[in-house]
Chain A
Amino acid sequence: MVKSKIFIGITLGEILLLSLFFLLSHAARLPGREGELQARRELVQRLGLTDFAIWTEARYTRHPSQTDFFSPFQDFPSSLEHFPAGSIIAPVLPSGSDRR
């Protein structure tokens, strides 16, 4: 039964590692990390930021929350959306819509 013991040992090791990751993600909410979060929140508040700076290729990808439903298509009538990020970002429906 050596093989089964080795397998169980390895599996338990993997579960332990996953549990450590879980604890690590909880430790992320400890005071030290909370300070880092607070600093980012302060930055957002001070500069009035609304969006993440992930996609800088177009207005509606740089500020998805500030854009409207059809801005990817409004460059000219019947224009097609062509930025790669458009295939990643789901459409953002206009404010007040319950279809979100």
Chain B
Amino acid sequence: MAQGIWFVAEQRDGALRKVSFEVASAARRLADGMGATTAGILLGAGVAGEAPRLGAYGADKVFVCEHDALKNYTTDAYAGVIAGLVKEHKPAILLFSASTEGKDLSSRLAARFNVGLAMDCIQYWLTDDKKLAAKRPIYAGKAMMDLVPLGEPQMATGRPNVMGLIPPDENKKPEVVAVPFSLDPASLKTKVVDLIKDTTGRIELTEADIIVSGGRGMKGPENYTILEEMAAVLKAAVGASRSAVDAGWRPHTDQVGQTGKVVSPNLYIACGISGAIQHLAGMSSSKVIVAVNKDAEAPIFQKADYGIVADLFEAVPIMTREFKKILQS
């Protein structure tokens, strides 16, 4: 019988990413609810030393597979290794982060196993018969779907930054199991031929704790420097509305909304964003929403927890100065 709750950890340049601890924590909470054990899967090259760190977030066991072909993520190689492990050990539940990697890998594996997959979930719970159930936003958050993914293993991905971490227990050490790499590298149909690092030190929107975002009210690309200054103080990511992106002021990767990125930071500061429905859909699951807009009638104020009716070009530098004071004290 299928048993155990498994999760797939993620690494970048050999170091675990924060989403790995989130997915380990989610697995632990479910396992505690059904008296099960948890196991993580960690793939990469030179990553074995990272495996014990997953113990602090509840992993009882970590399967580690190391090979040069696993250094950077490719769907082929990662799906091949994980499919082998899952077929051998038959976990009941298999969890991923809803990062770009987790979404990609889980989709391919669910199709290989012919099982259901609950994508980009914001909450997990167990049904009366101890099955995984999940809540996920649909229509970019204009509605929610509660569902049970069917089949074995039950599969789901959790939105980064939403479900949180369990209190770490630094004394807990997982059993680390080395898994041989059994794929023929020549059989792989995709390979990473180059890797372009983002050297600007920008924080990824989907994983940011704080986002400072600007819309049409910014009036031009040169004015984003005031948002970047605020973002630097807050260690925040900078986002943009669709109209700002379509005007060519900001790169498309910065777009927040139904046709851009759907984000859930702790704090979302919308500056000069009127609040078109497709933008609101992409950020309304933020914990605290702040609006700075000189139009008191702007729809963004309907969604905001705090707002000021003010010219952003006056207000933003003052806010930056005040944030700096607080963070330095």
A in complex with B: no
